[in-house]
C-alpha cells in the first residue's frame, strides 16, 4: 500500500513499543520515517527492520527532555528533509504515585513535564515554520483515556498530557486556516515497557503495542480530530455533563480494581 508515499513523518519515542510499531507501519505505507528516541542502539534496530522490508528510515538519537539537544535535532530534521508532513509526539514517561506520597517530590512533576510537555512543544514549535511554508502539516499527540475520566495515582503524568492536549488544540485553532491540523489519540492501557513497570498491571488486560500503533497510523492517514475508545468517549461526555457525579462514582471503582489486580498478581 502507498497511502503515505512521498510523505515524511517524524515519530518520537520510536525505539520501542507503540512508536516503533507505528514507524514500521507508516513505512510500509510508503512514508519516509524519522525516528527519535534516547536509545540509539534500539533506534538502529528499528531502522534496520524498516530498511530490510524495503522502507526508508532515519534514526536521530536525542533526549527530548534536554532543550539544547531538542533544538539541535530539530535543526537536523529541517536541514536533511525539505518536506516534513507530520510530527507524531509519542515520547513520554509516566509516574504512578499517590499525591500524599508526592508532597516533597515536585521534581516528579518537573521531569514528567520536561519530556511529555516541554519536549513535545519545543519540537512542534521548531517545525511550525516549515509547516506554514509548505501550507500543510499534521501534529499527532499520544495521550491517554485517563484525561477523559477522573483517574487517581497519576497526577504528574495526567497533568502533562492535559497540558499537551490544550497546546495542540490551540495550535489548530490558531493555524488551522493555514493548513496545520492535529489529532489527539486517547489510548487505553497499552502493554508496553512503561506500563509493565507497575507490577499489578501485569494482570490487567491491555491493548497490544501493535494494535495501539494502528491508532497512530489512522491519525496520520485520516487526520481526524481525535482517536478514542467508546469508554473514553462516554467518560468524556459524562465529565462534561455531570463531573461531580462521575468523579464521586469512580473513586470506589478504582480502589476495587487495584485491589482485584493486586490479588490476581499475588495468586499467580
Helix-, strand-, coil-residue percentages of the chain, each rounded to 5: 60, 15, 25
The angle, 0 to 180 degrees and rounded to 10, between the axes of the packed helices 243-267 and 230-241 is: 140
CA-CA distance, 2 to 4, in Å (whole number)? 5
- Sheet containing strand 8-12, strands side by side: 56-61, 32-37, 8-12, 86-89, 137-144, 180-187, 226-227
Cell of 260: 482485584
Exposed / middle / buried, residue 206 (Cβ in 10 Å: 0-12, 13-18, 19+)? middle
How many degrees, rounded to 5, is the angle at CA 178 between CA 160 and CA 82?
85
Task: Select which of 60, 117, 157, 186 is catalytic.
Answer: 157
- Minimal CA–CA distance to 50: which of 107, 85, 11? 11
Dmax over CA atoms of the chain, in Å, equals: 59
Taking the CB of residue 268, how many other CB atoms lie within 10 A of it? 7
Indicate if 157 belongs to the active site: yes
β-pairing verdict for 86-89 and 190-191 = unpaired
User: Which residues are designated catalytic?
Assistant: 157
Amino acid at each position: 500500500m502507498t497511502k503515505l508515499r512521498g510523505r515524511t513523518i517524524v515519530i518520537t519515542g520510536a525505539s520501542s513499543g507503540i512508536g516503533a510499531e507505528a514507524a514500521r507501519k507508516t513505512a510500509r505505507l510508503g512514508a519516509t520515517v524519522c525516528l527519535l528516541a534516547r536509545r540509539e542502539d534500539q533506534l538502529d534496530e528499528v531502522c534496520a527492520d524498516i530498511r530490510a522490508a524495503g522502507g526508508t528510515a532515519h534514526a536521530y538519537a536525542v533526549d527530548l527532555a534536554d532543550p539544547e539537544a531538542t533544538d539541535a535535532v530539530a535543526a537536523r530534521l529541517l536541514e536533511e528533509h525539505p518536506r516534513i508532513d507530520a510530527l507524531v509526539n509519542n515520547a513520554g514517561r509516566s509516574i504512578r504515585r499517590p499525591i500524599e506520597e508526592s508532597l516533597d517530590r515536585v521534581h516528579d512533576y518537573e521531569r514528567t513535564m520536561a519530556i511529555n510537555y516541554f519536549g513535545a512543544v519545543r519540537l512542534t514549535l521548531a517545525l511550525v515554520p516549515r509547516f506554514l511554508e509548505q501550507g500543510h502539516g499534521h501534529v499527532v499527540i499520544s495521550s491517554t483515556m485517563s484525561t477523559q475520566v477522573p483517574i487517581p495515582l497519576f497526577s504528574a503524568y495526567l497533568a502533562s498530557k492535559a497540558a499537551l492536549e490544550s497546546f495542540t488544540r490551540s495550535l489548530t485553532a490558531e493555524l488551522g486556516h493555514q493548513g496545520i491540523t492535529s489529532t489527539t489519540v486517547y489510548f487505553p492501557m497499552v502493554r508496553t515497557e512503561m506500563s509493565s513497570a507497575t507490577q499489578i498491571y501485569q494482570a490487567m488486560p491491555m491493548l497490544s503495542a501493535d494494535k495501539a500503533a494502528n491508532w497512530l497510523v489512522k491519525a496520520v492517514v485520516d487526520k481526524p480530530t481525535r482517536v478514542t475508545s467508546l469508554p473514553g468517549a462516554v467518560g468524556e461526555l459524562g465529565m462534561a455533563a455531570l463531573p461531580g457525579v462521575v468523579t464521586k462514582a469512580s473513586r470506589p471503582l478504582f480502589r476495587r480494581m487495584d485491589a482485584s489486580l493486586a490479588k490476581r498478581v499475588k495468586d499467580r
